[in-house]
């Protein structure tokens, strides 16, 4: 784990970082984002000991880095810097293999094999590029080499400072996918700086939004979208963002929270009466502990009602339902597939939580569009 504890950095009178604290779990993907000059690059440089803090300490796996030798530290941290930073007098191959060779954990053949594999992964033909010099490559190609070089070190921690900023959108998307699956597979700890919120949302486990050297919010993607702590964060994310990401809208956000429910021991006559007085056409049946058991609809009541005495005798025991943490996409899929206009919502512990109906869906969605229209008019 990387623990940044109460770090401040001053240069002269200017405060660049102001009491920054972050905990970064092993194997997680953290994105630093914020306006230009807010201190993102400075944060990376502090982790890598390229600069020293004015106050505070950074711990890596419990060890304060102020006590570590910078050389040793940097061998275990891959760093893709904002301005690429390839060594101009070394070939691409030499650039990539520099640290692996210094580490001496593998022989030259193994190192080369890895180099070739990584080159292919980022879509650069090893035969064509390995013996070239950085100045013979385009900016985007150099950025990819920077990436390969960082991965080739086998470092547990990789710092990436806007590694994709100079790439065209298609290459950028490809490399994002590549980095995402690489991370899934190798579980590196990645700290990634970007200006691009879409990129952050695509890649991050957690996002740290910074402004003027201060952390505004450090949170999971979901919490940022749902509970931005202040106006800055809200505006930074964009108010319509949640609605462009329907996978973050959960059943519990849309459902009616107190649906009409009845106990299974109710009689058919009572059930009809409850429907009539509440103006509903179905009843959700629960046991005494609110566990969800089934549904009785008005149709079934009319068809079989009179011959039966208890609701439990005619209810549908295998009703369609969704879980409260199912997302909008999943819910709509279920409703479409089953051809139903409403669906009960159940917790993972099988307690009845609510009911989603067409109109509850519509009202939530239209509220949002109303809000968007208003913000357009602002």
List binders of ligand ATP among 3-32 (CB under 6 A).
Answer: 11, 14, 16
Nearer to ligand ATP, 41 or 327 (CB): 41
Nearer to ligand ATP, 166 or 262 (CB): 166
Tell me, rounded to whole angstroms, the distance of Cα 343 from its chain centroid: 28
Least Å distance, CB 202 to ligand ATP, is: 19
- What is the distance between the alpha carbons of residues 206 and 183, in angstroms, rounded to a whole number? 14
Helix (H) or strand (E) holding 208: strand 206-211
Please report where in the chains the tokens 């068809």 appear, as a residue: 303
> Are the beta carbons of 356 and 374 closer than 8 angstroms?
no
Please, which residues bridge with residue 267 across strands? Answer: 310
The site partner of 127 among ligand ATP, Mg ion, none (C-beta below 5 to 8 Å per kind) is none
Question: Which range of residues in 35-43, 90-98, 234-242, 331-339 is near ligand ATP by CB under 6 A?
Answer: 35-43
The site partner of 42 among ligand ATP, Mg ion, none (C-beta below 5 to 8 Å per kind) is ligand ATP
Map residues 1-40 to x or -, x wherever contact with Mg ion holds by CB under 5 A. Answer: ---------------------------------------x
List binders of ligand ATP among 62-91 (CB under 6 A).
Answer: 82
Nearer to ligand ATP, 11 or 372 (CB): 11
Question: Which of 41, 115, 143, 189 touches Mg ion (CB under 5 A)?
Answer: 41
- 307 near ligand ATP, judged by CB under 6 A: no
Alpha helices, H only, the chain: 40-47, 70-75, 92-103, 108-121, 126-129, 139-152, 169-186, 197-203, 221-226, 231-237, 241-244, 251-254, 268-278, 298-304, 311-314, 328-338, 358-377
Burial of 19 per CB tally in 10 Å (0-12, 13-18, 19+): middle
Question: Which of 7, 24, 40, 167 touches ligand ATP (CB under 6 A)?
Answer: 40
Nearer to Mg ion, 159 or 355 (CB): 159
Computed on alpha carbons and rounded to an integer, the radius of gyration of the chain in Å comes to 28
Helix (H) or strand (E) holding 344: strand 342-346
Burial of 110 per CB tally in 10 Å (0-12, 13-18, 19+): exposed
- 37 near ligand ATP, judged by CB under 6 A: yes
- 141 near Mg ion, judged by CB under 5 A: no
Nearer to ligand ATP, 212 or 287 (CB): 212
Residues that bind ligand ATP (CB under 6 A): 11, 14, 16, 36-42, 82
Residues that bind Mg ion (CB under 5 A): 40-41
């Amino acid at each position: 784990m990387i623990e940044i504890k109460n770090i401040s950095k001053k240069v002269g009178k200017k405060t660049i970082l102001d009491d920054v604290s972050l905990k970064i779990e092993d194997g997680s993907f953290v994105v630093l984002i914020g306006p230009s000059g807010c201190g993102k690059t400075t944060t990376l440089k502090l982790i890598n000991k390229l600069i020293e803090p004015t106050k505070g300490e950074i711990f890596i796996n419990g060890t304060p880095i102020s006590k570590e030798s910078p050389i040793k530290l940097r061998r275990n941290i891959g760093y893709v810097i904002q301005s690429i930073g390839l060594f101009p007098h070394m070939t691409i191959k030499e650039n990539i293999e520099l640290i692996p060779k210094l580490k001496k954990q593998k022989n030259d053949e193994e190192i080369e094999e890895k180099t070739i594999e990584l080159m292919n992964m980022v879509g650069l033909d090893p035969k064509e590029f390995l013996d070239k010099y950085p100045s013979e490559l385009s900016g985007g190609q150099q950025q990819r080499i920077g990436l390969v070089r960082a991965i080739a070190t086998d470092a547990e921690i990789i710092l990436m400072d806007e590694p994709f900023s100079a790439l065209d959108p298609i290459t950028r998307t490809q490399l994002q996918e590549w980095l995402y699956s690489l991370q899934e597979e190798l579980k590196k700890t990645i700290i990634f700086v970007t200006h691009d919120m879409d990129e952050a949302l695509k890649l991050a486990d957690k996002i740290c939004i910074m402004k003027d050297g201060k952390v505004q919010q450090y949170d999971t993607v979901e919490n940022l979208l749902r509970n931005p702590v202040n106006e800055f964060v809200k505006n930074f994310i964009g108010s319509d963002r949640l609605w462009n990401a329907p996978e973050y809208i959960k059943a519990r956000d849309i459902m009616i929270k107190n649906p009409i429910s009845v106990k299974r021991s109710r009689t058919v006559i009572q059930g009809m009466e409850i429907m009539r007085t509440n103006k509903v056409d179905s009843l959700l049946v629960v046991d005494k502990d609110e566990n969800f058991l089934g549904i009785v609809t008005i149709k079934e009541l009319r068809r079989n009602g009179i011959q039966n005495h208890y609701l439990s005798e005619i209810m549908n025991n295998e009703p369609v339902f969704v879980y409260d943490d199912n997302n909008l996409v999943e819910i709509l899929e279920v409703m479409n597939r089953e051809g139903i206009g409403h669906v009960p919502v159940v917790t993972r512990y099988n307690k009845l939580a609510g009911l989603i109906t067409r109109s509850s869906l519509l009202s939530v969605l239209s509220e949002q569009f109303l809000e968007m229209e208003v913000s357009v008019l602002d």
